[in-house]
A and B are shown apart, each in its own frame.
Chain A
Amino acid sequence: MDFTRRQFLKLSGATAATLAVIELGFDDKKAKASAKDFKISQLKPTPTICPYCGVGCGILVYSDGKDVVYTEGDPDNPINEGTLCSKGTTVRQVYTSDKRVETPLYRAPGSAKWEVVDWDWAMNRISEKMKDTRDRTFIQKENGITVNKVESIACMGGAALDNEEVYLLSKLMRAGLGLTYIEHQARI
Chain B
Amino acid sequence: MAKEYIKYVDVTKCDGCRACMVACKNWNDLPAEPEEFQGSLQSHAKVTANTWNVLNFIEHENSKGDLEYLFRHSSCFHCTDAACEKVCPEDAISYTDFGSVVINNDKCVGCGYCVQNCPFDVISLATYKDKNGKEYRKAQKCTMCTDRLEEGMQPACVVTCHPGAMQFGNKEDMLTLAEKRLSEIKEKFPNANIYNPAGVGGTHTIYVLAEKPSVYGLPEKPKVPTSAVIWKDYAQPIGKLMLGATTMAVMAGFVSNKLFNKGGHDHGQDEEGGDSDE
Q: Is A181 an interface residue (CB 8 A)?
A: no
Option from A20, A73, A86 in Cβ contact (under 8 Å) with B247: A20
11 contacts between A and B (CB under 8 A): A9-B253, A17-B251, A19-B243, A19-B247, A20-B247, A23-B243, A24-B240, A73-B159, A83-B160, A86-B22, A89-B26
Using a CB–CB cutoff of 8 Å, the interface residues on chain B facing chain A are: 17-19, 21-23, 26-27, 29, 91, 94, 96, 102-104, 106, 146-147, 150-151, 156, 159-162, 240, 243-244, 246-247, 250-251, 253-254, 257-258, 261, 266
Within 8 Å CB of A9, what residues of B? 250, 253-254, 257
Q: A89's closest neighbor in chain B, by CB?
A: B22
Q: What residues of A have a CB within 8 angstroms of the CB of B22 in the complex? A: 86, 89-90
Query: Which among A32-40, A123-131, A164-172 touches the partner chain?
Result: A32-40
Cβ of B236 to closest chain A Cβ, rounded Å? 9
In angstroms, Cα B145 to Cα A72, docked, is 14
Contacts of B29 in A (CB 8 A): 39
CB atoms of A89 and B240 under 8 A apart? no
Using a Cβ–Cβ cut-off of 8 Å, how many residues does chain A contribute to the interface with B? 38
Chain A residues near B27 (CB, 8 Å)? Answer: 70
Answer whether A84 and B244 are a contact pair too, CB < 8 Å, given A6-B257, A13-B251: no
Residue from B26, B91, B159 within 8 A of A83 (CB atoms): B159
Kindly provide the distance from the CB of B90 to the nearest chain A CB, expressed in whole angstroms: 10
Is A33 in contact with B147, judged by CB distance below 8 angstroms?
Answer: no
Q: Does A41 contact B (CB under 8 A)?
A: yes
Which 3 residue pairs across A and B have the least CB separation, nearest first? A83-B162, A89-B22, A16-B247
In the assembled complex, the CB of B107 is this many whole angstroms from the nearest CB of chain A, namely 9
Q: Are the CB atoms of B247 and A17 closer together than 8 Å?
A: yes
Min C-beta distance of A64 to chain B, whole Å: 13
Is A102 engaged at the interface, CB distance under 8 Å to the other chain?
A: no
Contact A23 B240, CB 8 Å, known A38-B151, A72-B159, A84-B160: yes
Residue ID in chain A nearest B160 by CB atoms: A84
Q: How far is the CA of A92 from the CA of B22 in the complex (A)?
A: 11
**A86 pairs with B151, CB closer than 8 A:** no
- Tell me the nearest residue of chain B to A20, going by C-beta: B247
CA A80 to CA B162, docked complex, whole Å? 8
Flag if B244 contacts A33 (CB, 8 Å): no
CB-based contact A10/B254 at 8 Å: yes
Q: Does A29 interact with chain B (Cβ within 8 Å)? A: yes
* Residue numbers in A under 8 Å from B161 (CB-CB): 83
> Which residues of chain A have C-beta atoms less than 8 A from B243's C-beta?
16, 19-20, 23
Cα distance A20–B261 in the bound complex, in angstroms: 27
Q: With an 8 A cutoff between CB atoms, is A85 at the interface?
A: yes
**Chain A residues near B21 (CB-CB < 8 A):** 86
Assess A84 versus B162: contact at CB under 8 Å? Given A13-B254, A70-B27. Answer: yes
Residues of B within 8 A of A12 (CB): 250
Contacts of B26 in A (CB 8 A): 70-72, 89-90, 92
Please name all residues of chain B whose beta carbon is closer than 8 Å to the beta carbon of A36 when the two chains form the complex. 147
A contact residues around B96 at 8 Å (CB): 32-33
Residues on A with C-beta less than 8 A from B266 are: 6
Which residues in B have their C-beta under 8 angstroms from that of A28?
Answer: 91
Check A85–B257 contact: CB distance below 8 A: no
Check A45 for interface membership: any CB of B closer than 8 A.
Answer: no
Indicate which residue in B106, B156, B246 contacts A72 across the interface (CB closer than 8 Å).
B156
